[in-house]
Structure 1
């Protein structure tokens, strides 16, 4: 492509679109909010007045048929991610989909085959890969740190999260006409917390530590808290430990510790709606120094859109999470669930099924 801006249509005008994707498309240096699509007329029209896309659509296929549309952001409920992505790819449109990539390994594997055959760009919305602090840690790991020895990572949602989130997010507009999946996905808290929060933890661990090959997990479910402790085996021999807890009686608690041959990296990650880069301290054993990137641009949702657009407009390499990353994360989350159920070590290559 020779244009300097990518025309993006956002499917779904709910909370994540209002909090992140509309603004990201309007602020991006190399993309624009071309269209908004939602079945709910009242919600779609209000978002159009607020964010001023070129076009609006009530029908997804009508948006996909628009020759001016280059790509879609799928900002719907989890159950709709894969079907919506398949329709977009078959219409010749690039896709940035909210995480998790899907709800079963089988549907995600089918999507992965279509992505490979299409030659189009597909990215999973693991926006933490565009956090400057986490990117600094990744650069140190891939460079001066040498062989990694161990990785610990944690994602602990907080009971204080919603008052804090409400204070910094825009007022979320809802509609009784919005399309929702059958039943209430949030009633099965084990599944909901793993897909909503565990997907972030697993992807960050994979981004920093490499492919995960096996897990052994335990779950404590008491006093209104769900706490997964996961022994993790990485393909490179790294020893890992993951902690997913919802919800801790304290401030938001997320971060990582990585120990390597020539140094270490310790990271503190903040509530995502603060748009604040992770504070990552990098210790270099050889020079006897420590450093921390300022990371002044912490709008990782906008940075994600710009990275997505660079792949398409400029042929830049994928820096976000690919469909293969999404499938690997699905396998890891399924393996954790199976390990909790069976009390045994589970190899990711052996797992199938629905989350």
Structure 2
């Protein structure tokens, strides 16, 4: 691993559950410009084990005590979705920068409240849409912005597989659990339609927005058959680009994720892998100018670590934010709500008109 830089962001992680163990603790310890300063979790057994395993300087069982630590510069919110907004607001009010796991929130209204809190704080806030730090997607974005010209159409798909857990169990660290862990009042998986949209749909939507810009309206259809949830979504982008999104959960095949983009001066075709393989997307960029296809290798596929390093650069060096900001997070939630309302009604739904949650 590269040698740590002299100037580093001191990070406190809230939550010691699966996403923290699989992604954020390691990202803090491997990042060249950040350190894992503290871990906070109410489950004493879990927190103490994670502090020892990952070499955190401190452990806290009280969030306010961690936020009062003057040595902590920023907080990663790695809790259940229901806790994202209130935990972020408390961190901002304590003067900490925040990297919050996706989705940013559960309703349009709470995300708008968070947006006001971010503006009032003057702190850096970033949403954990880590796919923006996939070198393949970044290469596609550069081509789109600098060479493609007008985007005519975008198709993107995100299809979770019945075989994903045997695959991820083989590559993830053994996830440690605790009977003392804090859980939301309602089981997030009690409504699978809602859960799949929040867990997976937000990735698909953010990838589409990353490439083609703001979404203004959607028309969605939903099929629930044979234990498969399938959303087909026609998307209207502000740019006039035509879009089609396919979110299908529990496909009877390998993980299936990717995109096709057709533009004035070329096209892009991408295949994205299960994120826990830490493998850069295979993205083929065809340039009409030379009649050739180009592909970046992207040897560094640790998207979560790259995400944290980008977040730290913005804070430590004042570089422009590379990841998803508060407006991106709000737009993602608006799009998910609009898709849910359109699937229910069968009608076109404008994002500006939606309220409530998925």
Provide the TM-score with structure 2 as the length reference.
Answer: 0.98
- The counterpart of 2:174, out of the listed 171, 186, 195, is 171
Give the C-alpha shift of residue 117 in structure 1.
1.6
* 1:44 alignment counterpart: 47
- The counterpart of 1:18, out of the listed 13, 17, 21, is 21
Give the C-alpha shift of residue 183 in structure 1.
2.2
**In structure 1, how many angstroms separate the alpha carbons of the residues matched to 2:129 and 2:308?**
11
Structure 1 stretches of 4+ moved >3 Å: none
Question: CA deviation digits over 1:5-29, x for unaligned, max 9?
Answer: 0000000000000000000000000
Give the C-alpha shift of residue 118 in structure 1.
1.1
Question: CA deviation digits over 1:139-168, x for unaligned, max 9?
Answer: 000011111000000000001100000000
**In structure 2, how many angstroms separate the alpha carbons of the residues matched to 1:75 and 1:157?**
22
* 1:297 alignment counterpart: 300
Contact 1:213 1:234 in 2 (8 A): yes
**In structure 2, how many angstroms separate the alpha carbons of the residues matched to 1:201 and 1:289?**
28
1:323-338 matches, within 5 Å, as 323-338=326-341
* 2:87 alignment counterpart: 84
**In structure 2, how many angstroms separate the alpha carbons of the residues matched to 1:159 and 1:209?**
30
* 2:70 alignment counterpart: 67
**In structure 1, how many angstroms separate the alpha carbons of the residues matched to 2:6 and 2:334?**
37
User: Does residue 346 of the first structure (1) align with residue 349 of the second (2)?
Assistant: yes
**In structure 1, how many angstroms separate the alpha carbons of the residues matched to 2:306 and 2:289?**
33
User: Does residue 221 of the first structure (1) align with residue 224 of the second (2)?
Assistant: yes
* 1:189 alignment counterpart: 192
**In structure 2, how many angstroms separate the alpha carbons of the residues matched to 1:79 and 1:194?**
15
Listed as ranges, the gaps of 5+ residues in structure 1 are: none
1:130-141 matches, within 5 Å, as 130-141=133-144
**In structure 1, how many angstroms separate the alpha carbons of the residues matched to 2:185 and 2:88?**
19
1:21-32 matches, within 5 Å, as 21-32=24-35
Contact 1:3 1:313 in 2 (8 A): no
* 1:124 alignment counterpart: 127
Give the aligned CA root-mean-square deviation in angstroms: 0.8
What SS is found at the alignment partner of 2:79? Answer: coil
What SS is found at the alignment partner of 2:254? Answer: coil
Question: CA deviation digits over 1:261-296, x for unaligned, max 9?
Answer: 000000000000000000000000111111000000
- The counterpart of 1:284, out of the listed 284, 287, 297, is 287
Provide the TM-score with structure 1 as the length reference.
Answer: 0.99
* 1:105 alignment counterpart: 108
Listed as ranges, the gaps of 5+ residues in structure 2 are: none
**In structure 2, how many angstroms separate the alpha carbons of the residues matched to 1:152 and 1:4?**
42
How many pairs does the alignment contain?
354
* 1:238 alignment counterpart: 241
Give the C-alpha shift of residue 3 in structure 1.
6.8
* 1:203 alignment counterpart: 206
What SS is found at the alignment partner of 1:144? Answer: helix
